[in-house]
Amino acid sequence: MAIERVDCWKAHGGTQGVYRHDSRATGTPMTFSVFVPEHGEGQLLPVLWYLSGLTCTHANVTEKGEYRAACAEHGVIFVAPDSSPRGDDVADDDGYDLGQGAGFYVDATQAPWTPHYNMWSYVSDELCQLVSAHFPIDLHAQGISGHSMGGHGALTLALRQPDRFRSVSAFAPIANPSEVPWGRKALGTYLGSDEKTWRKHDTVALLEDGATCPEMLVDIGTDDPFYDEQLKPASLEAACAKAGQPLTLRRQSGYDHSYYFISSFMADHVRWHAERLKG
37 Cβ contact list (under 8 Å, min separation 6): 12, 13, 14, 45, 71, 72, 75, 76, 77
Taking the mean position of all CA atoms in its chain, how far away is CA 167?
A: 13
Residue 193: CB partners within 8 Å, gap ≥ 6? none
Strand partners, 219: 171, 250
pLDDT at 1: 80
pLDDT at 279: 81
Is this prediction's pTM over 0.85? yes
- Could you list the beta-strand ranges (E) of the chain: 4-11, 14-22, 29-36, 45-51, 77-81, 137-146, 165-171, 216-221, 247-252
With beta carbons less than 8 A apart as the criterion, state whether 19 and 34 touch.
yes
Position 251, amino acid: R
Q: Where are the domains of the chain?
A: 4-277
- Closest residue by Cα to residue 148 from 64, 76, 221: 221
- Give the CA angle between residues 167, 168, 170 to the nearest 5°: 155
Cα atoms in the 13 Å half-sphere on the side-chain side of 14: 25
Element (H, E) at 2: none
In angstroms, the CA 62 to CA 60 distance is 5
Q: Read off the pLDDT of each residue in 158-164 and give the average, rounded to a whole number.
A: 97
Report percent pLDDT > 90 for the chain. Answer: 99
What are the pLDDT digits (tens) for 205-244?
Answer: 999 999 999 999 999 999 999 999 999 999 999 999 999 9
Instruction: Assign domain 4-277 to its CATH architecture.
Output: 3-Layer(aba) Sandwich (3.40)
For residue range 109-145, list pLDDT tens digits in order. 999 999 999 999 999 999 999 999 999 999 999 999 9
* pLDDT attached to residue 188: 98
The reported pLDDT for the residue numbered 179 is 98
Beta pairing partners, 51: 146
- Average pLDDT in the chain: 98
Q: Mean pLDDT throughout 78-92? A: 98
Residues assigned a catalytic role: 148, 224, 257
Mind listing the pLDDT tens digit for each residue in 3-50?
999 999 999 999 999 999 999 999 999 999 999 999 999 999 999 999
Task: Say what the pLDDT of residue 177 is.
Answer: 98
Strand order in the sheet with 165-171: 4-11, 14-22, 29-36, 77-81, 45-51, 137-146, 165-171, 216-221, 247-252
Q: What is the dihedral of CA 186, 63, 161, 215, to 10 degrees?
A: -110
